[in-house]
Structure formats: structure tokens, C-alpha cells
Amino acid sequence: MDRDLSINLVRLTEAAAIGAGRYLGLGKKNEADGSAVDNMRKMLDTMHIEGEVVIGEGEMDEAPMLYIGEKIGIPGMGYPKVDIAVDPIDGTIALAKGLNNSIAVIALAPQGTLLKAPDMYMDKLVVGPKGKGVVSLSYSVKENLLNLAKALNKDVKELTMTTIDRERSQYIIDACRELGVRVKLFADGDVATAIETCLESSDADILIGRGGAPEGVIAAAAVKALGGYMECKLIPENDEEIERCKVMGADYENVLTLDDIVKSNDIFFAVTGISDGALVKGIKYHNDVAETHSMIIRGKTGTIRFIDAIHHLEQKPHYAK
């Protein structure tokens, strides 16, 4: 795929963040999501691609735009054929409450290389490059922590494990506390936190927990581009979700490795901050100007770019009343 895609891609996440950021802390997550989706979809029409949304806002009858299966671009023009995984707002609850780590994200990969994951829960395990080959969802939490500490040449008590702050995470927290491992909880949205485990600047060594499957695929694209490792397992909770897995061809019986989730290294990933976070700073408005902070990753080269931008808005932000 054309490397220029990486620069063009960030325009999409910037647009989504600009739309969503106006609702930060206002308790209006639906309005924020609608604005982000609308802005991102309009910008997608400017991309020279022939794509299909494989991770998006839901089914066609649930979402008017960025729905799973939606075709993007113009066929027959020789543009790159791509899978599109998108979340205009990862961390909608955090955004509504004015909390950290709300971001706009998108990933592109060659056609047929991204897992088509139903909207259901997924168990996730993510580590950085040095954790490859020593951790697995097939192991217990304690085994994973002990194995990772050895691989990182750390005492186990020097590890930091991150997981979502939900009751379902308690068994993971208990195992960490028994070993003296530090626990870092996050309130909402696990894409940013998964990526953190792959960055040298982060204090997060491993993510373990259960979250949304679509977000898992988006995170996997970035994790693979950064040379990290991830395993997932879909968790259907009823017969309807099992049938959805079958229709989409998603394996819900076995642990999925990173190569099962993302089958290519030719990945483009972009993220723009809506609220402040460990990856990027949040959006700031100054009268008729918006200041955004973004990160772009190209999997083929491992290049990471940080882009700070000033956007002159057509009109002053219409803060919701």
C-alpha cells in the first residue's frame, strides 16, 4: 500500500476528534459519537482507497454510517483494496465523564487480512516485543506474570499489569496482588492501554482482561505494527452470538494469535487524542482554532510519527447546551 496513506489517514482521526471533543465532559456520549462518525465518514470519501469496513459502528440496521460491510472509495480505479477497522471514539463513557484516554482510531490493512469480529466480549492478553513466546491465554495469570518477569529480566514485583476496572477483572487483580505485581486500572476503552504495553516509555508491561471484540481487532493492528504480541478469545454469551460468529466466520472455540487477527504486516494505524492520555494529548479549542495531537504507525517499516496540528475551524465550536 502507498506510504502516503499514513499521512492522509490521520486526517480522519483528527476530524473525528474535533467533532467529539466539543462534548467532552457533557454527559452526551451519543451526540459525541454521532458527531465523530459524521466527521470521519465525510473525510473517508476523500481517501484514494477501495475499502470495506470490517470493524465499525455495528450492522447496517444499527448504524447509518461506518457499518460493518459498508463499501468505501471508488472501485475500478486501481486504488489499494483495504480492510478498514474504525472506532471514531474509543472510550465514549470516559469522554462523557471528562476522563482520560478517549481517542479516535482507525486501522487499514490489505483486503481480507483483518479479523471480522462480532460485537461481543473478547478475552485479551497483550505484551510488548520482549513478551513474545512466553505468555498465552492458555496459561494462568500467575504463569504469565512469572514468565514475563523472567523474559524482561525483572523481579515479578517490578511488573505492572493493566486491566479494566470491572468486577469481571477481580480474579486477575487477586492473582497480581498475591505476587506483589502492581495493578493499573483503567475506566473505559482498552485500545490505548493495549498499545501502551508495546511502548518503552510506558510503565504498563502487560494487559489482561475482557473487553469488546471490535476494539480488540483495532488494538491488534497497532500491536502488530509495533512488534508486540497479543492473544484473544471470543466469548459469545448466548446462542445468538454463537450464530453471529458462524455467519462471520469467526472462530469462537480457540485462542486466536496475533497472526490470526491481523494477517499482514502492511498496516497503517492512526490515533488522535480526544481527552488526555498516555499515548497522545487531548484536543484543545481556542475560539475558532482546534489543536490536535496524533500518532501514526506504519507496520511495514515500524515507523511511528507524532503530529501536532492547528485547525482553523469554519465556525466557532457550537458547545452543546
Domain regions of the chain by residue span = 5-113+267-312, 121-261
Let me know: does 83 contact 5? Beta carbons within 8 Å.
no
**Cα–chain-centroid distance for residue 237?**
22
* Strand intervals (E) in the chain: 50-55, 71-73, 81-90, 103-110, 121-127, 160-164, 182-186, 206-212, 229-235, 256-257, 268-273, 284-286, 289-298, 303-312
Name the superfamily (CATH) of residues 5-113+267-312: Fructose-1,6-Bisphosphatase, subunit A, domain 1 (3.30.540.10)
pLDDT in tens, the chain (321 residues): 566 777 889 999 999 999 999 999 999 999 999 999 999 999 998 899 999 999 998 776 677 889 999 999 888 888 999 999 999 999 999 999 999 999 999 999 999 999 999 889 999 999 999 999 999 999 999 999 999 999 999 999 999 999 999 999 999 999 999 999 999 999 888 899 999 999 988 899 999 999 999 999 999 999 999 999 999 999 999 999 999 999 989 999 999 999 999 999 999 999 999 999 988 999 999 888 999 999 999 998 888 999 999 999 875 555 444
Say whether 73 sits in a helix, a strand or coil.
strand
Cβ proximity of 205 and 127 under 8 Å: yes
Q: Which CATH class is domain 121-261?
A: alpha beta
Cell of 281: 494529548
Retrieve residue 110's grid coordinates: 490489505
